[in-house]
A and B are shown apart, each in its own frame.
Chain A
Amino acid sequence: MPSDTPQFEERGGWGQRVINFLHGNPTVIPLLVLVIGLAIFSMIVGKRFFHPFNLSLVLQQVTVIGMLALAQTLIILTAGIDLSVGAIMVLASVVMGQLALTYGWPPELALVAGIAAGGICGALNGLFITLLRLPPFIVTLGTWSIFNAVVQFWSGGQTIRQQEIAATAPILQWTGTAMQVGAARLTLGSILMLGLAVFLWYMLNRTAYGRHIYATGNDAEAARLSGINTRRVLFSVYLLAGGICGVAGWVLIGRIGAVSPLGGASANLDSITAVVIGGTSLFGGRGSILGTLIGALIVGFFRNGLALAGLDVLWQEFTIGCLIIMAVGFDQWLRRIAA
């Protein structure tokens, strides 16, 4: 290399290298938390904890929230937030149940209509946010109420019972079908959730669209100047998230067997919890699908482990709260020292 060309030294040092590594691999910390948590619980609880049946039980428990958390990850990556994911999920399940049972639609068509309803709800959020330029927090707080009201209005507050669905539209319960793998019970809903995670991982990391989602959340102005249509990216993300919530509605029916207008009351915040504990930054542009899966598993295993250890439910809430604050604190610290 000619000597008169400009040279830039690498900013070096051991600490800097660790920070660079954490920047490039933000999932390492939640993974560490999961592994340490598993180790501690297996010591306290013993063999029961690692029994395949218990492990698959936790997976079943986190499937619905995991699904919503996947949708929430996309939105938080764009520096947005969606408080209505749980409401969209319930709305989709009510649409499926009502159309199939009350209105006598073919169950397959009712299923598609339910997922489409989720997409429409998401598109509505997206329109308010991109066209009217309203903050996502306020928009989805509003639509959360609106979707809830629609659910109550349309279902009349009535639960559609398991037996009725099994008789008329068993396809709606398909996601609850369990397969016995050794001592573990895997539901089709869990497999659907994991399959969706693989798809979203591919989309975010291996396609230009995925890179644009990160760039839009990281620095919207920079993304715009680089030629990215940021409003289209934002709208499509809310639309896609709505559709995923629609699918989650199907998984919800499989999980509880019935269509209940009251399900998923805490699901909005639980999905955000999983995303944040999974290391995705609420400020956008930083995080991963794998992190969210790990985040959902951390919540699931901590609840399960604490319950098996015989502690009161309130300690589960307490621990999850501590994890959230630690996760956000770590994200802040990482951003500050890098600036």
Chain B
Amino acid sequence: MTPILSARDLRKSYGRVVAMDGVDFDLYPGEILGVIGDNGAGKSSMIRALAGALRPDSGEIRLNGEPVRFTSPMDARAKGIETVFQTLAMAPALTIVDNLFLGREYRKPGLRGSLFRMLDRGRMRAEARKHLSDLGLATIQNIDQVVETLSGGQRQGVAVARACAFGSRVVILDEPTAALGVKESRKVLDLIRDVRSRGISIVLISHNMPHVFEIADRVHIHRLGRRIAQVEPSQISMSDAVAIMTGAMQPPPNSISQEP
């Protein structure tokens, strides 16, 4: 099976600090891949490289087996890779609709759009409503509400909806539950499963082991700037995964070449 998104031997260093020391990465179609690793292990650098926000010094990224080169998050986005950054990248004083379409607004057809640059608010509203209700977020009734009046879970929901709205093949979620309470975390996890059931592959970066082990199909363990193991949550205990992650335990044999 060809991975939908893969990387081979990514390297990046800042002076003497090595952020990526030959990273390999594989994401297969339709799966939820958990990514775990200690603070400073280089997860973020890898994710930023996959999302187009960081240019690696060397190495190769492939999308559906084709080599790609991202110079900005826009490039990755154009290829169907959407990232929900931990900060959510939303403008809190703008409305839900404005945020959903920020940076890729629709303009009215004809002269009103081309000459007067008029936004097609009706179309954006209708699509925003559809995307939110597709993900079961229809209880956010007022899509003209400004984002800062939403709860943390609702904001995360809107950010996920934005990532899914643009026909993406891959959605990368960076610590989606880190700022949320128990109840809201549960809803976001349900939301992630929901997105996967629509055929989108998901990368889930999280420090929360129970969450990762609950919904990930496979887990990528990162240590000292590279992938040290790939495991299936059903084959390994949570404490062993943490032990591998921190270097207290050797990874099981053949744990790198694993396919789903």
Residues of A bordering B, CB below 8 Å? 1-2, 4-11, 16, 19-20, 23-24, 206-209, 211-212, 214-215, 218-219, 221-223, 225-228, 285-286, 338-339
Contact = CB atoms under 8 A, between A and B. Distances in A.
A339 B150 CA distance: 9
B194 A6 contact: yes
Interface residues of B, number: 49
Main DSSP-derived SS at the B contact region: loop
Contacts of B148: 23, 338-339
Top-8 shortest CB links A-B: A5-B136, A227-B103, A225-B89, A226-B103, A6-B187, A208-B105, A218-B91, A6-B190
A173 B202 CA distance: 65
A117 B133 CA distance: 52
Given A206-B118, A221-B87, A286-B93, A6 B157 contact: yes
Contact of B90 (A16, A214, A222): A222
A1 B136 CA distance: 8
Contacts of B194: 5-6
B215 interface: no
Interface stretch (B59-67, B138-146, B252-260): B138-146
Given A206-B118, A208-B105, 4 more contacts: A8-B153, A9-B139, A16-B149, A23-B93
Interface string B60-80: 000000000000111001000
B93 A285 contact: yes
B20 to A, nearest CB: 21
B70 to A, nearest CB: 13
Contacts of A215: 91, 94, 98, 102
B154 interface: yes
A227 B162 CA distance: 13
A219 B90 CA distance: 8
9 contacts: A5-B136, A6-B191, A7-B139, A7-B187, A23-B149, A211-B98, A214-B93, A223-B91, A339-B148
A24 B133 CA distance: 22
B68 to A, nearest CB: 18
A19 B149 CA distance: 8
Given A8-B187, A214-B94, A227-B77, A20 B85 contact: no
A7 B89 contact: no
Given A207-B118, A209-B117, A218-B92, A6 B74 contact: no
A208 B187 CA distance: 32
A338 to B, nearest CB: 5
A267 to B, nearest CB: 28
Contacts of B184: 8
Nearest to B85: A225
Contact of B88 (A11, A222, A227): A222
B103 to A, nearest CB: 4
Contacts of B95: 24
B54 interface: no
Indicate the member of B93, B136, B138 with the most A CB atoms within 10 Å: B93
Contacts of B105: 208, 211
